């Protein structure tokens, strides 16, 4: 029997904000959606069963890390990434372009050969071309595949950013050809162009012509200011295709997610929930608390009285403070679960507010609870 084809539909809009449904043969994904990051075939300190209990409907993993360790052949021999990590949720894999820029000792970018770099683990030389990135992602058997792009560091050099964008578009065409016909999977294009609106528009139009299953916005978590990021989101909001999911890559502070939804973004990922958890930073409806601080040593209160996750139901701030201060493994496990649950509950509230035409009220309440000034926006 043929596998169910990838599909997306918008269910409701409230100004630019929208809720929708991504359909995959492994399950549906309600949008706006947050993807916990399982970089190396695991969401740190979390079992897949617990990830599902948080309400997560999709996770992200990474081509760069998996090609280095354990290697695509080893994952393939286990039956693909889902079997390897015992995950029945849909999986999106990043192409590895950002990690090549941020982690490896990069030797060279070659228009034809792709990225030539040394592993940050053992110095071994790798070649990652658009075709190789797609080959690896198909070998991992991911459900949503990202094209190979060049993700340059933030720069005010217009010609440098344009040259990088042109290279990414050339690689986009090659990625599309290498992907072939896989109707039960999706291939997303990535808009580049730095902080330059004309380049962003040119990149988007070219990707629309190539015809991808979804559109991602890249290069918006590489050191730009919040104002610069919002400016690009605002500019792109009425230009992105209505009938394709829109993914803002690597952006994950709660307020950044709420802002991006205001401009019509559907998908998000970030390591922040689990990374912060391992450092004692717990995210609550009123902001972030550092659980290792002295005021929580004797606190019988839950992490967040407005949260109904199992951590907030069963454990006190005092206990989590103790676990963190003694470096107990359970501390990271419980904190990670809570933070991911918070994110998924945030996404649920966003979707419900859009469905009931109350998203503007939700946004105002969100900022009021955090004692933050609400930025100007399209609501």
Catalytic residues: 94, 269
Token code pair at residue 173: 């065409």
Of the chain, the end-to-end C-alpha distance in Å amounts to: 46
Question: Which tokens sit at 197?
Answer: 């609106």
| CA–CA distance, 25 with 23 (Å, rounded to integer) | 7
Neighbours of 218 (CB within 10 A): 27
φ and ψ of 24, to 5 deg: -130, 165
For the chain, give the secondary structure using H, E and C: CCCCCCEEEEEEEECCEEEEEEEECCEEEEECEEEEECCCCCCCCCCHHHHHHCCCCCEEEEHHHHHHCCCHHHHHHCCCHHHHHCCCCCEEEECCHHHHHHCCEEEEEECCCEEEEECCCCCCEEEECHHHHHHHHHHHCCCEEECCCCCCCCCCCHHHHHHHHHHHHHHHHHHHHHHCCCCCCEEEEEECCCCCHHHHHHHHHHHHHHCCCEEEECCCCCCCCHHHHHHHHHHHCCCCCCCCCEEECCCCCHHHHHHHHHCCCCEEEECHHHHHHHCCEEEECCEEEECCCHHHCCCCCCCCCCCCCHHHHHCCHHHHHHHHHCCCHHHHHHHHHHHHHHHHHHHHHHHHHHHCCCHHHHHHHHHHHCCCCCCCCCC
Distances (CA, A) of 178 to 96, 133, 175, 182: 16, 9, 5, 11
The C-alpha atoms of residue 340 and residue 324 are separated, in whole angstroms, by 18
């Amino acid at each position: 029997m043929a596998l169910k084809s990838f599909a997306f539909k918008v269910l409701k809009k409230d100004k630019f904000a929208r809720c929708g449904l991504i359909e995959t043969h492994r399950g549906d994904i309600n949008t706006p959606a947050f993807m916990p990051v399982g970089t190396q075939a695991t969401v740190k300190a979390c079992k897949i069963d617990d990830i599902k209990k948080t309400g997560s409907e999709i996770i992200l993993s990474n081509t760069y890390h998996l090609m280095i360790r354990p290697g695509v052949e080893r994952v393939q021999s286990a039956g693909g990434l889902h079997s390897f990590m015992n995950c029945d949720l849909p999986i999106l894999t990043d192409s590895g372009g950002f990690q090549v820029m941020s982690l490896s000792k990069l030797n060279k970018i070659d228009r034809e050969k792709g990225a030539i770099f040394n592993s940050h683990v053992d110095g071994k030389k790798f070649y990652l071309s658009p075709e190789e990135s797609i080959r690896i992602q198909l070998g991992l058997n991911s459900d949503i595949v990202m094209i190979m792009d060049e993700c340059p560091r933030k720069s005010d050099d217009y010609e440098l950013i344009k040259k990088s964008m042109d290279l990414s578009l050339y690689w986009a065409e090659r990625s599309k050809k290498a992907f072939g016909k896989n109707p039960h999977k999706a291939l997303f294009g990535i808009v580049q162009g730095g902080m330059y609106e004309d380049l962003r528009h040119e990149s988007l139009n070219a990707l629309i012509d190539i015809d991808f299953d979804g559109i991602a916005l890249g290069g918006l978590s590489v050191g730009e200011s919040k104002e610069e990021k919002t400016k690009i989101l605002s500019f792109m909001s009425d230009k992105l295709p209505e009938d394709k999911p829109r993914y803002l890559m690597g952006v994950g502070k709660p307020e950044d997610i709420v802002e991006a939804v205001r401009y019509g973004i559907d998908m998000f990922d970030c390591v922040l929930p689990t990374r912060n958890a391992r450092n004692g930073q717990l995210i609550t409806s009123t902001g972030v608390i550092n659980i290792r601080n002295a005021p929580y040593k004797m606190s019988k209160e839950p992490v967040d009285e407005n949260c109904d996750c199992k951590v907030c139901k069963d454990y006190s701030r005092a206990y989590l403070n103790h676990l963190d201060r003694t470096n107990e493994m359970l501390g990271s496990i419980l904190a990670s679960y809570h933070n991911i649950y918070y994110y998924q509950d945030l996404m649920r509230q966003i979707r419900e507010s859009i469905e009931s035409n109350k998203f503007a009220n939700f946004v105002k309440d969100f900022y009021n609870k955090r004692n933050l000034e609400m930025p100007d926006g399209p609501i």
